[in-house]
Amino acid sequence: MHGSPTPPRSRTPLVVGIIAAIACLGLALLVVVGLVVGGVLYTSGRTDQEVPAGPGTSTGDLVLPPEVDVDAPYLELSAAADGRPVVDVYVDFLCPHCATFHDAQGADLQQMAEDGEITLRLHPRPMLDPNSSPAGYSSRAANAAICAYSQDADPAAWFAAETALFDSQPGESGLTDEELSDLVGEATGADVSSCVTEGTYIPWVQDVVEPEARQSAEGTPTVLIDGETFTGDAAEAGSLKTAVDAA
């Protein structure tokens, strides 16, 4: 007597198992993709404030002069002991009154800085950029002086470049990059031609120095002594030193 034939096995459990395996694999892939995308978004979302750039480095298109911290709107040419006056000087190399100020006060400022009597902070402004033809001379002249300073973070190079630029102030005609390179190079002995041509520090002058200057100084020249505006005669030799000594 033969038994009843064995009924065929259902394939449903096998199909269900395959589907479940695929679902698990898909879920795992989603988790991995999520972690990768999240990591990329986190990294790209970090700011310069979270990972600050060091002095003399580049942050995007912004190159910082040596010895200048991120967001510092000045060159600190001397650092005096605590209790000594902090002197902030705002100048524009196209400004005729700045040239007059430099003739009257420049030597005293340099001497006080070199003697450690003051902390001297120079703010080279591009305020008069629209007034030159072609526009932009203030930025380019400031850049040329910073290029010389940046060779060795040398305040003496800044002072020499500053004097040369004011002594040869061109008025609204401006100077070409080649003329700026020759003028500053001769005054300082530094080869600044590529730095001048590339406009290395112009973004810093325009995007860091000028925004702060608009808030702190009404024009150029402006001098702050421990945050207070110098109100003496800027064209009278010795007047600034007298005010500093009295601070």
pLDDT tens, position by position, 162-177: 999 999 999 888 999 9
Say how many C-beta atoms besides its own lie within 10 A of residue 220's C-beta: 22
6 belongs to a structural domain: no
Structural domain includes residue 209: yes
Residues 35 and 77 in one domain: no
**CA separation, residue 44 to residues 37, 47, 48, 51, 52 (Å):** 11, 8, 11, 12, 14
Contact present, 206 and 126 (Cβ < 8 Å): yes
- On whether both 33 and 104 belong to a single domain, the answer is no
Helix (H, G, I), strand (E, B) or coil at 75: strand
Q: Is residue 35 part of a domain?
A: yes
Which H/E stretch holds residue 137?
helix 137-150
Residues 20 and 126 in one domain: no
Same domain, 37 and 72: no
Answer yes or no: are the C-beta atoms of 180 and 141 closer than 8 Å: yes
Residues whose CB falls within 8 Å of the CB of residue 163, separated by 6 or more in sequence, listed in order: 102, 106, 187
* Rounded average pLDDT over 136-146: 98
* Structural domains counted in the chain: 2
4 belongs to a structural domain:
no
Q: Are residues 89 and 181 in the same domain?
A: yes
Residue 34 pLDDT more than 80?
Answer: no
Domain that holds residue 165: 58-246
Whether residue 107 is found in the same domain as residue 175: yes
| pLDDT score recorded for residue 27 | 47
- Asked if residues 199 and 140 have their Cβ atoms less than 8 Å apart, the reply is yes
> Do 98 and 20 fall within a single domain?
no
Residue 72 inside a domain? The answer is: yes
Residues 23 and 136 placed together within one structural domain of the fold = no
More confident call, 88 vs 28: 88
Domain membership of residue 2 (yes or no) is no
Q: What local confidence, expressed as pLDDT, does residue 61 receive? A: 75
Q: Are residues 160 and 208 in the same domain?
A: yes
Q: Does 33 share its domain with 69?
A: no
What is the arithmetic mean of pLDDT over 185-190? Answer: 98
| pTM listed for this prediction | 0.77
Q: Choose among 247, 230, 246: nearest CA to 104.
A: 230
- Model confidence at 60, pLDDT cuts 50, 70, 90, reads low
Region class of 83: left (phi > 0), else alpha (psi between -120 and 50), else beta: left
| pLDDT at residue 19 greater than cutoff 80 | no
For the chain, the average pLDDT equals 84
User: Is residue 110 located within the same domain as residue 141?
Assistant: yes
Within a domain: 50: no
Give the span between the Cα atoms of 46 and 65, in whole angstroms. Answer: 23
Number of residues written out for the chain: 247
The two beta strands, 119-124 and 75-78, are antiparallel
- β-bridge pairing 119-124 and 86-91: parallel
Same domain, 77 and 119: yes
Residue 62 inside a domain? The answer is yes
